[in-house]
Chain A
Amino acid sequence: MAKTHVDAIVVGAGWAGSIMAKELTEAGLSVVMLERGSERTTPVEGAYPESIDELRGAVRKRLFQNLSQSTVTIRNTMDQTALPYRQLAAFLPGEGVGGAGLHWSGVHFRVAPEDLRLRSSVIERYGEKFIPEGMNLQDYGVTYEELEPFFDKAEKVFGTSGEAYKVQGKIVGNGNVFSPDRSDNFPLPAMKDTFSASIFRDAASNAGYHPYALPAANASRQYTNTYGCQMGPCNFCGYCSGYDCYLDSKASPNVNILPVLRQDPGFTLIPNAHVLRVNLDSTKTKATGVTYLDTKTRKETSLSADLVILGAFQFNNIHLMLVSGIGKPYDPLSNTGTIGRNFVYQTITSSRVWLPSSSYTNQFVGAGGAGVAIDDFNSMNFDHGPLGFVGGSPVWVNQAGTKPIAAATGAGGGGTPRWGSAYKDALINTYKHSLGIDAHGSNMAYRDVYLDLDPTWKDVYGQPLLRMTFTWKDNDIRMNQYVVSRIEPVARAMGATKMNLVHLDAGQPFDTRNYQTTHLGGGAIMGENPQTSALNRYLQSWDVSNVFVIGSNAFPQGMGYNPTGMVAALAYWAAHHIRTTYLKSPGPLVKA
């Protein structure tokens, strides 16, 4: 602990940080991982039954960021004044060892290959004029074929359950027909369909769509991963998102990587260490280390390192880059600069369908990553030409388990009374006989949607808060409306007695008060051009070559899929190139 110089510093103890720390210690480096939140070990935090206390967990946000210490400010448009996000609602960043990787639900996707080259793909099919004015549509600069070995590696660490479609060019199963070729099968068979998922599977199939089992980092069987870490099998208890799994069934850094990392003498984890800045040399092209604050003692410590990995949550990575002076801040007026550019989200709406009282969906049953999806309206899998928008949505029934307080507060939906016997009837009917269908859509990047430092508000440490300028744009609203309209006939075929189909309305602004998703992205994106991306294709800063920034911050667009699988693959991809190329000859991996 008294070390003042280490080979590598990793900021953040979530998936990105833990993967990087594991890879770098394997390469023989001494690694210090700094986590601003508290230590979290599953035997303690995941102890049953305390771990599934909904009031303490999802309601009082046990595993999430403490907004009284630091937060972001939010506004919809550039002419507004942003105000601090004071109550967790629209998105829920994690805090503590494991980060968002401890409280996630476990949906573990790869990527739709064309999403990695969305700009090129759209231009090839529809011409450059198809791209709306003000949309900063970009390619990642990396292909699916290049990332495939790292998706495979991540799945074997996560213990991912799923059903493949194509392995090494051969059709092997009833998986997603739109999914690309795989070098190997999933390490575990798919999770079983809940009743709700199975009737969606039938109805979608009858409608001519192509249903498949969601790939889930919820273990369908007991599993020992590539590091020797063990997982128990999921029992569909429903306490995934917002909780640490007491069965060790849901993959998390805490279950799947940290047990082995903690045994490595080259690895040190320091919790309660809030990184204030990455220190740069006088040329601003080389990081010398970081300065962090011990949040318990309020003592500042500077640690020097040859390599700095930013693996914090998406917007915290951007914040650290901005307060440290890494790269040029984005300016929306001139559309120049890269840090804060292409801030993206996802366009998600959740609809509810009620079935006859003879059909029991039992909403208390569930698993965060389990379900049945269709990709017929995702990515470039359908003809956007006549529709006139870019992007798409997978659609799924992902019965993750509705907890009692959530059930009681959500109740009947769609105008049912909030008290009395009618409320109780609706509550019971919804809990027993309803199901949710989500349109889990992409979100494009726009010139006037971005991140920068707030001119007014500061965090408890005296640093300016990060400011989000974000709202829904016409392209994404129309995409969402189209996909939701496709849900209706499927729901009818499932025997719906009542439907509450939810979509965005034209002109509807982003509303921070309702939970939508924690899948924030972009802001320090990867790409091939240092004028339009903060990071090169290896997630290395164009400007400070010994800083790598790992996370969904690298996504140029918000994709329809959940981001964790992509983040994990990008981490292994970046680590591979650090290990095989960078460490032998430190410096830019791509010439600017």
Chain B
Amino acid sequence: MKWPLFVACILGLGISARAEAQDADRTTLEKGRYLATASDCAACHSIHGKPEYSGGVSFSLPMGKIYSTNITPDPEHGIGRYTETQFGQALRQGIRRDGSTLYPAMPFPSYARMTDSDIHALFVYFRNGVQAVHVSAPKNEIPWPLSIRWPLTFWRWAFAPTPHHAIARTAGEFTDPQLARGAYLVEGPAHCGACHSPRAITMQEKALTAHDGSLYLAGGAMVDGWTPPSLRQENRAGLGRWSEDDIVSFLKTGRAGTGSVFGSMTSAVLHGTQKLTDDDLHAIAHYLKSLPAADRTQTPWMYDPTVTDQLHKADLSPRGARIYVDHCAACHRTDGRGYPDVFPPLAGNPVMMQDDPASLVHIVQKGASLPAMATAPSSITMPAFSPGLTDQQIADVVTFIRHAWGNNASAVSAEDVRTLSKNMPPPEMADGTLSLN
């Protein structure tokens, strides 16, 4: 009787040890899934209606068109033959399995600061948690000699940090654990700077971390018709008047009392940030609130009721006022305050006061739609006003809202609107995945 009991115990231990190992694998895989979300891999590697992570998203660059790759575990077309080391090199250093360099559309200068343990989790997830898809992404359309990849290696040597250096840099910035976590997420996986930091003529981000100077997240150049605003503490055109809770609400639901998501950021919230934990969102918000203004010339915005009073007296003499009342005021109200969380305010909204009016003009031209989010299912939509309004009318109304209620941005001409209509964003707004409710 003793022997079988002993054997049973040993077997039992063995089974429980295996179960523990399986739990550990599961935990690692789920951590990888979460990091893939935080890193918004899907934004570039998934197309709505096609298998997840099978690539094929096109990017129009000045020298031609490139396509994102299949990053499913398919051995032939995907990353099935990558070792963990090779996987880490691709993510953090932009080095492909064959040794050539990735186009820096892949944000490896940001991913460089991801820890070994996070890379491991991502590797486990992409090997075991993603369905292999046997499909190759379209060939890049870049003419020779620009298609030669070796110059990219020089770019990498010159501008991309080594993981060792990057990890140390980000980890050493803050002692406060919440700020440190925020810095890690924003500078690393979330790669916010890829759009929100200015780039040099040689295309590298001018700053990759909070400690690289005040250009970090100080606003980027137009992408797909949208101009990413500063995420620093500028009072008017930055996040200076957004509370930590506003930022968390924005990243979780795409909407906040201070403004709603639009343009390319819509997809980042839809696929990415809405799925992050509240702790991580607060860490991100807390970190962003810690970045001092880059542009210190912005005087504090104060609500100015002059235009409101005029409109309330039916004085439509200011240029664009009539168009505003006829087309905009129903939702955004004559006082410009909107109805917080549903229809965003225009008074004091940073998008009104960006130097570059591209985003604002494009919203008026193309409209904007908040997709259904997990915790905010309503798809609030602003209709398109082009071709309903002429270029001159759009210029007038945009100029009006950039001047009213204490806003103080420059006027926009019909010529500006005409020029901007040439690079209007695609009709799907972000990536064609917007589910309209």
CB distance A228 to B375 under 8 Å? Answer: yes
Tell yes or no: A235 within 8 A of B by CB. Answer: yes
A44 to B342, CA, bound (A): 17
* Interface residue? B381 (CB, 8 A): yes
Partner of A229, one of B327, B339, B377: B377
Question: Contact check: which of A44, A48, A229 meets B330 at CB < 8 Å?
Answer: A48
Q: Mark B378-419, 1 if CB is under 8 A from A, else 0.
A: 111101100010000000000000000000000000000000
CB distance from B170 to the nearest CB of A (A): 36
| Interface range on chain A (Cβ under 8 Å from partner) | 20 to 34
* Complex partner residue of B374 from A42, A46, A233, A263, CB under 8 angstroms: A263
Interface residues on B, range: 20 to 34
Q: Are B331 and A230 in contact (CB under 8 A)?
A: no
- Most interface-central of B330, B340, B341 (chain A CB within 10 A): B330
> Is A382 located at the chain interface by the 8 A CB criterion?
no
CB pair B341–A224 under 8 Å, yes or no, is: yes
Per the bound structure, the CA–CA distance linking A237 and B330 in Å amounts to 9
Q: A43-B436, A43-B437, A247-B330 are in contact. Are A229 and B378 (CB under 8 A)?
A: yes
Q: Which of A254-262, A334-342, A391-399 lines the interface with chain B? A: A254-262
CB neighbours (8 Å) of B379 from chain A are 41-43, 259
CA A227 – CA B375 in complex, angstroms? 9
Q: Let me know if A259 and B437 touch, CB within 8 A.
A: yes
The minimal Cβ–Cβ distance linking A52 to chain B, given in whole angstroms, is 10
- Given the known interface contacts A43-B437, A227-B377, A230-B378, the answer about A259 and B372 at a Cβ–Cβ threshold of 8 Å is yes
Per the bound structure, the CA–CA distance linking A536 and B228 in Å amounts to 60
Partner of B437, one of A41, A47, A48, A232: A41
- In the complex, chain B residues whose CB is within 8 Å of the CB of A23: none
Tell me which of B375, B380, B388, B435 contacts A262 (CB under 8 A): B435
Tell me the nearest residue of chain B to A223, going by C-beta. Answer: B342
Smallest beta-carbon distance B334→chain A, Å: 10
CA distance A246 to B343 in the complex (A): 12
A258 to B377, CA, bound (A): 9
Q: A44-B436, A231-B342, A248-B342 are in contact. Are A259 and B331 (CB under 8 A)?
A: no
Check if A222 sits within 8 Å of B381, measured CB to CB: no
Nearest B-chain residue to A229, judged by Cβ: B378
CB nearest neighbor in A for B370: A43
Closest-CB distance, B330 to chain A (whole angstroms): 5
**Are the CB atoms of A232 and B331 closer together than 8 Å?**
yes
Given the known A-B contacts A42-B437, A228-B375, A248-B378, are A222 and B340 also in contact in the complex, defined by CB atoms under 8 Å?
Answer: yes
Closest A-chain residue to B437, C-beta based?
A: A259
* CB 8 Å contact bits of B71-99 with A (1 = contact, 0 = none): 00000000000000000000000000000
Q: Is A49 an interface residue (CB 8 A)?
A: yes
CB distance from A451 to the nearest CB of B (A): 35
- How far apart are the CA atoms of A260 and B377 in the complex, in Å? 5
Q: What separation, in Å, do the CA atoms of A262 and B374 have in the docked complex?
A: 11
The CA of A259 and the CA of B435, in the complex, are separated in Å by 10
Residue numbers in A under 8 Å from B383 (CB-CB)? 47-50, 246
Partner of A43, one of B369, B375, B377, B388: B369
- Which B residues touch A46, using CB under 8 A? 381
A222, B436: Cβ atoms under 8 Å? no
Residues in B neighbouring A228, C-beta threshold 8 A: 375-378
Measured CA separation A231–B331 after assembly (Å): 11
From B330, B339, B372, B436, give the contact of A263 (CB < 8 A): B372
- Whole-angstrom distance from the CB of A200 to the nearest CB of chain B? 27
A41's nearest neighbour on chain B, judged by CB, is B436
**Residues of B with C-beta under 8 A to A230:** 341-342, 376, 378, 380
Expressed in whole angstroms, the Cα–Cα distance for A262 and B376 within the complex equals 12
C-alpha spacing A167/B396, complex, angstroms: 51
Please provide the chain A residues from 397 to 426 with a CB less than 8 Å away from any CB of chain B in the complex.
Answer: none
Q: A48-B330, A263-B372 are in contact. Are A232 and B436 (CB under 8 A)?
A: no
Q: Which residues of B contact A259 (CB under 8 A)?
A: 372, 377-379, 437
Q: Which residue from chain A places its CB closest to the CB of B381 in the assembled complex?
A: A43
* CB contact list, B334-354 vs A, under 8 A: 339-343
A195-238: which have CB < 8 Å to B? 221-222, 224, 227-233, 235, 237
Output the least CB separation between B393 and chain A (Å).
14
Provide the A9-52 mask, 1 if CB < 8 A to any CB of B, else 0: 00000000000000000000000000000000111101111100
**A262/B339 contact (C-beta < 8 A), A47-B381, A232-B331 known:** no
Distance (Å) between the CB of A199 and the closest chain B CB? 24
Name the distance in Å between B340's Cβ and chain A's nearest Cβ: 7
In the bound assembly, the distance between CA atoms of A183 and B379 in angstroms comes to 32
Given contacts A43-B437, A44-B436, A232-B343, contact A49 B388 (CB under 8 A): yes
20 A–B contacts from the bound complex (CB under 8 Å):
A41-B436, A41-B437, A42-B379, A47-B383, A48-B330, A221-B339, A222-B341, A222-B343, A224-B341, A230-B342, A230-B376, A230-B378, A232-B339, A233-B339, A247-B331, A248-B342, A254-B437, A258-B437, A260-B377, A262-B372
Apart from A43-B380, A47-B383, A259-B378, list 6 A-B contacts with CB within 8 A: A42-B379, A49-B327, A224-B341, A230-B376, A247-B331, A258-B437
Which residues of A come within 8 Å of B, CB atoms? Answer: 41-44, 46-50, 221-222, 224, 227-233, 235, 237, 246-248, 254-255, 258-260, 262-263
The 8 closest A-B pairs by CB, nearest first: A43-B381, A259-B437, A259-B377, A230-B378, A47-B383, A260-B377, A222-B339, A222-B342
